[in-house]
Structure 1
Amino acid sequence: MAASVSSEDFTNLQLLLKAPSKDAVRDVCVQSHRGCSRRLVESTAATLSVPAAQAAQLVQSLHVLSHHVLFYNLSSAEQILALFPESFHSSLKNLITKILLENSPTWRTEALSNQITLPQLKELSWRVDLVTSSDSVSRMSVPTCLVQFKVEDPCPSAGGESVSPVTVELSRESLDTILDGLGRIRDQLSVVAGK
């Protein structure tokens, strides 16, 4: 969950009044969305002529505000302006709101593309095999089902393939259990979708 924006954050945002231009405010706002870095704090401190500690607090407050706007999907100027206290500088409030509205779609797309997701099933194939020779007589002439899943990992490891095969050998009993479970899942999904 996104951190809520505190009155201290709005006090820190007042430091933006020391910015030499609207573009300087825009740069700090946009760069702070990714988080606090030493380089950003130093450049902000130099731009605003404030100590590094104050610049770090400002960057953190802008970071919290931009994440709050994204988390709560605030997509209109009225919704964002309502976050600010009444006593907040009017022109600065409007400028920050405008910057947040301009950049929110890009930030939202980035956040969605960086989400951790489970692997997705891309392909399924199967075949039935009959074991004709084995070191155990009990395995002879017992049919088994080989199921091959091709799954896509949205976040493959470095140098790894995004689509990988997974093969499973199932006995008749295991297959019956899986089919029964899948039937229950289908029924539950139908009930949920029907509501």
Structure 2
Amino acid sequence: MERSLWGHLPLLVMSNSKDSVEYILQALWRTRKTGLDAADRLVIREMLQLQHDSDLDPLLVCLRMLIRRCVYENVSKDDIQKLFPSEVLPELQRLLTLLLQKFQREWREDLLKDQVSLPRLKAMTWNMANQNTESADPMAVIDLKLQNDAQSHSGELDVKFQLAKDTLEMMLSSMYCILDQLSDLDETSNRRSSQETNMI
């Protein structure tokens, strides 16, 4: 984090309340995807007795970067205070450390909920179509059963589609490329594990 940003943290002292600082941190986390709206900005400015948004913005940038490091990076609770340089007032370090420790676990759980969970293949069946029609090109009908483990859309999903011979050949070619890459990655992983074992 740039040194110049830390100099804006003392503005939090103007709030004269731990609850106000807690509100600001919670508001920043709640709006991590959208940014603060005008109403939130006004509330925070009044808490900090600031006249203009331009006075508020550097502080918000500093706090967002601090929250990001605390939540997105692998920072333990005990190491949160080490994020602050010595130039930050000790009382501010203690207050922000306590609040970040308080919300770190909850915010990390929010991150897990935000992550997109892709469906996984559970079963696959197929049969031939147009077998009794001489004029039609033969087609294979593929039926995929997918399992969606996402909390918001959990359950099974059936996907059915048909493939002609040329399309199937193209698909198989792509699948073999994927298989080769997965095999290469697996071999690399096994080689590294073997090397690490030999070093122990």
* TM-score range normalised by the length of the shorter chain: 0.7 to 0.9
Counterparts of 1:172-187 in structure 2, within 5 Å, are: 172=165, 174-179=167-172, 181-187=174-180
| 2:75 partner amino acid | L
Identity of aligned residues (%): 24
Higher RCO structure, 1 or 2 (CA under 8 Å, sep 6+): 1
Checking the alignment, whether the CA contact within 8 Å between 2:129 and 2:139 is kept in structure 1 is yes
| 2:175 partner amino acid | L
Q: Which runs of 5+ in 2 are unaligned?
A: 190-200
Checking the alignment, whether the CA contact within 8 Å between 2:126 and 2:142 is kept in structure 1 is yes
When you count helix as a share of all residues, which structure comes out higher? 2
Distance 1:125 1:113 in 2: 32
Q: Alpha-carbon deviation of 1:122?
A: 4.9
Q: Where does residue 45 of structure 1 map in the other structure?
A: 45
Distance 1:17 1:26 in 2: 12
Q: Where does residue 15 of structure 1 map in the other structure?
A: 11
Distance 1:171 1:26 in 2: 61
Q: Where does residue 88 of structure 1 map in the other structure?
A: 88
1:50–1:184 distance in 2 versus 1, CA, 3 Å? closer
Aligned partner of residue 88 in structure 2, secondary structure: coil
Aligned residue pairs: how many? 182
Q: Give per-residue Cα distances to partners, 1:3-60, cap 9 Å, x unaligned.
A: xx32232112111112222222212122122232222221122222222422343233
State the TM-score, normalizing by the size of structure 2: 0.72
1:116–1:9 distance in 2 versus 1, CA, 3 Å? farther
1:61 aligns with 2:62: yes
1:94–1:161 distance in 2 versus 1, CA, 3 Å? closer
Q: Alpha-carbon deviation of 1:72?
A: 1.9
Distance 2:154 2:117 in 1: 16
Select 2:24's aligned residue among 12, 22, 28. Answer: 28
Q: Where does residue 163 of structure 2 map in the other structure?
A: 170
Q: Where does residue 185 of structure 2 map in the other structure?
A: 192
Q: Which runs of 5+ in 1 are unaligned?
A: none
Aligned partner of residue 51 in structure 1, secondary structure: coil
| 2:8 partner amino acid | N
1:59–1:181 distance in 2 versus 1, CA, 3 Å? closer
State the TM-score, normalizing by the size of structure 1: 0.73
1:37–1:6 distance in 2 versus 1, CA, 3 Å? farther
Checking the alignment, whether the CA contact within 8 Å between 2:9 and 2:62 is kept in structure 1 is yes
Q: Alpha-carbon deviation of 1:163?
A: 6.2
CA RMSD of aligned residues (A): 3.2
1:147 aligns with 2:142: yes
Q: Where does residue 71 of structure 1 map in the other structure?
A: 72
| 2:42 partner amino acid | E
Q: Alpha-carbon deviation of 1:113?
A: 2.2
Q: Alpha-carbon deviation of 1:191?
A: 4.0
1:100 aligns with 2:100: yes
